Structures are given as C-alpha cells and as structure tokens.
Structure 1
C-alpha cells in the first residue's frame, strides 16, 4: 500500500521542513539552503540550492498557485522566491529582527503569515510585500501557524503550549491551552467537515507537541454565530515528542513525525494507524503530503528526505459504510457516526452531531428528548427519522457485539434463543407429541444451539 520510492540526501545538516507544489518539492535545512526537486523524476532543479539566508532555514512553503516559494530563517527574514527561476523576489524583515520560525500562505495567496521567536506574528501582503497587520502572543515563541481552508482564520501555536486564533484582519479571537510542554506544529484539513445550520462550516484542526500527543479539534466561525474551538480527541501513537503533522489533500489521512524517529499515518475517520514508518535514523522533523498525487515526503535530522508513494487510489476504502457496520457500533468514532448519518440521508445533521461529540456509544443512547432538548433539532420529521434509524442500529448491537450469527437471535426480543426447535410446516408435524414449546415465535430451528455451534465451527 505504501512504498519508499526515493531518498534525497543533498543537505549538509538537519532537514527542517519540506513542502509540495503541484510539480515541485522544496526542502530546507539548518545548512542555510533551500533545495528544489521536480516531482517527475526527483531530479534537483538547475537553480537549486537557493542561497540567501545567513543562518538556519526553519520553514518553507509554496503559494497555492505554486509560483512563489517562501522561506524563513534565524536571520530574522522571510524571503519570497520565484519557484521556477530561483530568483529572490523580496526580503521581508521581521519587526524587531527576531528569528522567524514558521511561515504560511493564505489559501488565496494574498497574505503570508510569519511567526517569530519573540512571539510576534506578521501578516504580509504577498503582492505588495508590505506589512499588513501584526500581533503578539503573551508567552513563548511562535513555532506553528496555519490558515483555515477558506482563509478567514489564522491559527498560531507557541512554545508555551497555546493555540491562538486570529481572524483575517489579525484580530484576536481565542486562545486555548493545547499542549502542556509546548506546541510544535498545527495543520488544518484541506476539506471542511459538512456544514450545519445557517451554512455554518466546520474545520478539522490537528496540533502536536512536546507532550508526545496529537490533538484533533473542530473549528467553526461565522460573523453571526461567532467562533468556537472544540477539542475532539487525542492520538497517542508516538512515545516521544511529536515534531510535525500534516493532512492529506482529501483530509482522509493524517501523518506525524516524532523524536522517536518514526512516522505514523492515521486514518482520520477511524483514527486507526494505517502505517508506521521507521526508516529514518534520527528525529523526524517534517512531513508533507503532495496536493494532487499520492506522495508523502518525510524529513529528518539524519539529513535525508524520504519520498513515499501510495499504491491504492483511496487508502481509506476500508472505511466504507458496509465495513463500518461490521464493527461494533458502540466503537464507532464521531466520523463513523457522520458517515452513517450521510448514508441515512441525514447529512444536514452532521455538523450538529460533530459539535456535540456524538460517537457510537452516545448515538445509541439518544432519545427523542435529547434530540429536541440537547441537540435542538426542531424538525419533528428529522427527529423521527433519526430515532427509527437508531432503533435499527440497536437491534444489531447484541448480535454484532457477541459475534453470534443473526440467525440465532430472536428478531423480536433480540435475545439469544435457548433450546429452539422448528415447527414443521405441516399440521401433522405440528401435532406430533415430541414437538417442544419454542423460545421465539418467528425463528425456529430443529436442532439444539450447541449442536449448531459445532456445525459452524464455533464454541460456547
């Protein structure tokens, strides 16, 4: 499903960041350089490496169009380059000259955000190269930043462990203590979650930190309803600080790199581990998915960048609704519940269920009172349809959780049938003295349950 297809080993020091455009891969390093490679054959471009920075380069990123590359450095500057010629377009100096740790473009390429060690975050106009807005976090260095998919929000992460949310004019909206020992990276899923009422959209955000954890959040914002950041779950696959995380272009996978030298790829729907990669020999500092192809790049303090390719078109095909129904319903994640809602034609309720953290266990305990009162679903028709669908799920839980075939479960009481017998179709058979009373009126079998178990290879 996943194979290593290339290793790049041109940097002379730790690889600090890697980034894809539709046709290029950029890597940067503590060796003060940025290198560019063609995705067609991973050959380094003639104008690579790019040299300007006088100290370590911490981050690089492409504009959404792929024509401009940004890089930032300990030297206190953020440089914009022509991705095709390698020529510097402008040099933007961080106010105060503090080392710049991270940078990212807005989705429409209008702005570039840069975060520095002194806690300052600057929003630059990427066309005029002028400073547009700036802000400062209270504590710690800024080490992470990400724009929401539609560009209305900017999230920054600090070494003190705070996630801070700004609007597109750099007005402070919210701060949240996310990781006790400091944040190292944050990333939005490119694909929004399904919307709820009044056109409200929800976005999945991932953050990782020195506490060895990856946390998943749901972000929503409208000028009418305001802003909300809700914690959803924690991934604990790594045994050491997590230094980087990134979503795939379709949002179905999340990749992370760690001080434990491993790379873990998660299915964002089930939050299960798809792959664990251990080819790097030192800390994994960066990871990135390509925007249009199933390529993954991982970079490390071992001075190399590994390129991985997925073999399947959709690595998460196993997450289809039919496969999910084979799992215990009580073990469904919140994303599984969302998939189930869509399959029932209830996609309008997905946002409401996600904002209320409804997983499989909570789903099975919903009542008409909680649907109306807690979830505030006003439509009687929608509530009734949800309740009917939930009742159908409840009838499956016993048989699924016990592993007992549905043929052995009473269709009325959903209880295990004990010592059942069959009633013959003929009146003569029904009048035979040996006929026993049956334990279920609709499903009758002519042999004892233990004998059936032996016949199908099961044990009591």
Structure 2
C-alpha cells in the first residue's frame, strides 16, 4: 500500500526535480530556487530556500555522501551548495554558456556531469571543481543523464529520442537512436550491477521514459574490450500521456514514474508489473524520486507542490528500515565515501570490514566477523561452508546474502578505473604484487593471480 504522508507547497512555480539523500529531500523549481527539507519530519532547513540562480532551476543532485548538492539552471551554470551551511561551494559555468538542463554525480563523488540545451556534455573533476572534457551531440538538447553503479559509464538522453552510453573519456560506447519517439525525458540506472554469463561481463538495468508515453526498462551489458550493448526488457504502458520522470528504489525492486496525465505509477521492476496508480496531483507530474534509506517516494508537479508518499510494504535497500543517522552519512573528503571505500577490498582491515557490513545492512554479523578476525582478504575468500561451519552463521538467507555482497565486491574491480595492465586477462580480477609477465599467469594461494617474468626470455 502507498499512502500520502506530506504535501510541501513552498514553491511559487512548477516543480522541476526532486531528489533524496540519506537525511534530506531537495526540490527545485521554475521559481529559480532550490528548497531543502529534513526527511525526519519534512521541516525546511534554516538556510532554505537556496537562491543563487538567476533563471529556472531544472535539476538537482546530491553527492552520494549528502554533503553537497548540485543544481543546474537556464542561467548556464551548475551551482554546488554545501549542505551543512547552504553556502555556495562552486559555480561551474557550462562551456558555450548554454542553459544547463541536467546534472548528476558519479557514485564515488569524483565526477559530476552536466548536459545543456546545445547538446553538449561537460564532465567535471569534482575534487578540483574543474572541467575535464566536453562532448555531446549537436543540434539537440540534453535532458537526461545517469551514472552506472560502478561510476565508469553514464547514459545521456536527448530530445532527439536517443540514449547514448559514454565512458569517462567521453567516448561514445553505444547509441540507441530510437529509444523514445519525440524525445527522452528522463533516465536512471538501478543501483545494483550484476555479473553476466560471459565471465568478465557486467550488466546494469536502466529505466528511461519519454514523450511517447512509455516507460522502458533496459539491460546494459559491458565488457572492457567489447564495449556496451543495450537490450529492451520491458515496455510499460501504465500512463496515457508523456512520461516525464522515473526513478528506481534503492534495492532496484520498484520503479516509479510521473506523467503529463497527472498520475504517478509504481511498478515491480523485474517483471514490469503495475502495482499502484496515484492521482493526487492536479497538474503534470514532472519529478519523482525514491529515498535511498527509507520506504519513501517524493513526487513534484506543475501544481507547485511536492507530495511525499510512504510505501508500506517496503522498498529500501535495508528491508524498509531507517538507518541510524551516523551509519547513513559518511565523509566526502577527497571525493570518496568513507575510509574503506578508498581501498581495494583485499586491503581492508577488520574495522573496514565492519564498516562495510554496517553499510550493507548486515550489522548482525559485525561481532561474528570480528571474533573470527575477518579482514579484506579473508572476506573475499569466504564461502557458504565457512560461514555455516566455521563462523556458525545459522541463517541460510543471511549466508546467501553475504555471499552475494562479496560477489558484488569482486565484480566492482572490473569497473573501478584500475589500469587494464593490473587486471588478470583471464578473470579481470586485480593482481596482487604484479610484475611484468611474458606469457605465463600463475595462480597464487591468495586467490589472486601473480605473473612471473625472467629477464631476457
């Protein structure tokens, strides 16, 4: 069941976007402002509204740690705000001074991408607040953008109706040129990635919507050498007019969309089954977002309001439960999300493993792992038998969940931006203490692959 718990009516013009962090909800509007609310009671922050833009604000995006908020506007800038004070951290002027329609942070907070009305994309190094490179598609407007969960790819959507996959060199890896007739309006990756059947293949789900009144779910597969492919999984027809926004839940199991027909639809994402249709907005629904930490949905409309909904059957990555504030928020210094995420999992300490367990909602295992001195290398070597026999984890479901999370850690090595020469050519895993190799790859007892070389051979 979905119930309306709050209506925010502070904006004086169309609401264009809404987005959650762990503790906050941000909304932006054609009234040139960004407003920020606490999710605990939906009271507005003391420094809200943020009024640094001179024209309508089209999109806003939290950094993954929630310390910063980026907003972009017709004034051709993307403004970065500090969420502890509301002060402006940086003003990023888009090349060519074209109106900026969309912006998005990478999952590791290292990069920020912005897309403009002239079809250009700007990729920013967020750590230095400087532009890295530009690219794009001529004679169209970029209106949608989303980073993959690994942060090494992103997809853009334009008023041409195309979806394009890019890497961090702004090299186009794939183009679906007829994704939506009359134009794309929004796109978003599901938070999880999956390992494909081809060994070093990783797969992502992505949703897109458009002026053709359709919401589509895609499978994007990626290999380091073969590139990208896109396959259409579902075409969802629960709305009768252009679909303007879409968003996955934090666990990837639900998908929400908003439409010109004034409705909000909620789907079960894997099969595309329509679960709920919500009709409380009086005009076009222009924005929608799931909370990453709680079973909440926010929807924004041209009726100037933002509705907040609770999904009673749960939709969060942590079984619908709120996380303690200290666990939900992590440091963003250096462009990373906390201590353990700056290291390869094999280099984690026992404390890093404990931090990771809490982040994944596995707090019940922290004491067990500490008692068994599980550090990063031991974590990667765990299997179900060891969990059941040696560590006495009795719950089969819990054993299965931890093994899935460990497999996700291993897969992430394929998408971390590690130079290719440091990855085993067979398994694509990170090699430990690599040296120059001449045709031979040796398996080490640690489970990684070491290469040997003799001078002159």
Alignment partner of 1:287 is 2:288: yes
Q: Between 191-200 and 58-67, report the one with greater CA deviation.
A: 191-200
Q: Secondary structure at the match of 1:193?
A: strand
Q: Between 219-228 and 64-73, report the one with greater CA deviation.
A: 219-228
Residue pair 2:254, 2:315 contacting (<8 A) in 1 also: no
C-alpha separation in 1, matches of 2:91 and 2:151: 24
Alignment match, 1:120: 120
Alignment partner of 1:60 is 2:80: no
Distance 1:174 1:139, change over 3 A: farther
> Could you tell me how far 1:269 is from its partner in structure 2?
2.0
Residue pair 1:142, 1:157 contacting (<8 A) in 2 also: yes
* Rg comparison, structure with higher value: 1
> Could you tell me how far 1:197 is from its partner in structure 2?
2.5
Residue pair 1:15, 1:300 contacting (<8 A) in 2 also: yes
Q: Secondary structure at the match of 1:96?
A: helix
Deviation per residue, 1:186-243 (Å, 9 max, x gap): 0101012343231321101111100001111111112133211112221111100000
Structure 2: gaps of 5 or more residues: 318-399, 405-457
TM-score scaled to structure 2, two decimals?
0.68
Deviation per residue, 1:385-425 (Å, 9 max, x gap): xxxxxxxxxxxxxxxxxxxxxxxxxxxxxxxxxxxxxxxxx
Q: Secondary structure at the match of 1:189?
A: strand
Q: Between 256-265 and 127-136, report the one with greater CA deviation.
A: 127-136
Residue pair 2:234, 2:272 contacting (<8 A) in 1 also: no
Q: Secondary structure at the match of 1:204?
A: strand
> Could you tell me how far 1:154 is from its partner in structure 2?
1.0
Residue pair 2:257, 2:266 contacting (<8 A) in 1 also: yes
Residue pair 1:119, 1:136 contacting (<8 A) in 2 also: yes
Structure 1: gaps of 5 or more residues: 317-342, 348-460
Distance 1:79 1:115, change over 3 A: same
Residue pair 2:251, 2:315 contacting (<8 A) in 1 also: no
Alignment match, 2:303: 302
> Could you tell me how far 1:136 is from its partner in structure 2?
1.6
Alignment match, 1:357: none
Deviation per residue, 1:325-364 (Å, 9 max, x gap): xxxxxxxxxxxxxxxxxx9xxx9xxxxxxxxxxxxxxxxx
C-alpha separation in 2, matches of 1:139 and 1:198: 39
C-alpha separation in 1, matches of 2:141 and 2:46: 36
Alignment match, 1:103: 103
C-alpha separation in 2, matches of 1:232 and 1:260: 24
C-alpha separation in 1, matches of 2:181 and 2:104: 24
Alignment match, 2:274: 273
> Could you tell me how far 1:94 is from its partner in structure 2?
0.6
Residue pair 2:16, 2:30 contacting (<8 A) in 1 also: yes
> Could you tell me how far 1:15 is from its partner in structure 2?
0.3
> Could you tell me how far 1:140 is from its partner in structure 2?
1.2
Alignment partner of 1:179 is 2:180: yes
> Could you tell me how far 1:83 is from its partner in structure 2?
1.2
After the TM superposition, list the runs of 4 or more consecutive aligned residues in structure 1 that deviate by more than 4 angstroms.
none
Alignment match, 1:261: 262
> Could you tell me how far 1:263 is from its partner in structure 2?
0.2
Deviation per residue, 1:136-158 (Å, 9 max, x gap): 21341000000111011110000
RCO (CA 8 Å, sep 6+): is it higher in 1 or 2? 2
Deviation per residue, 1:51-96 (Å, 9 max, x gap): 1100000000100010000000000000000012100001011111
C-alpha separation in 2, matches of 1:155 and 1:315: 24
Residue pair 1:139, 1:158 contacting (<8 A) in 2 also: no
Alignment match, 1:17: 17
> Could you tell me how far 1:267 is from its partner in structure 2?
0.3
> Could you tell me how far 1:273 is from its partner in structure 2?
0.7
Count of aligned pairs between the two proteins: 318
Distance 1:315 1:151, change over 3 A: closer
Q: Between 296-305 and 184-193, report the one with greater CA deviation.
A: 184-193
C-alpha separation in 2, matches of 1:307 and 1:80: 25
Alignment match, 2:234: 233
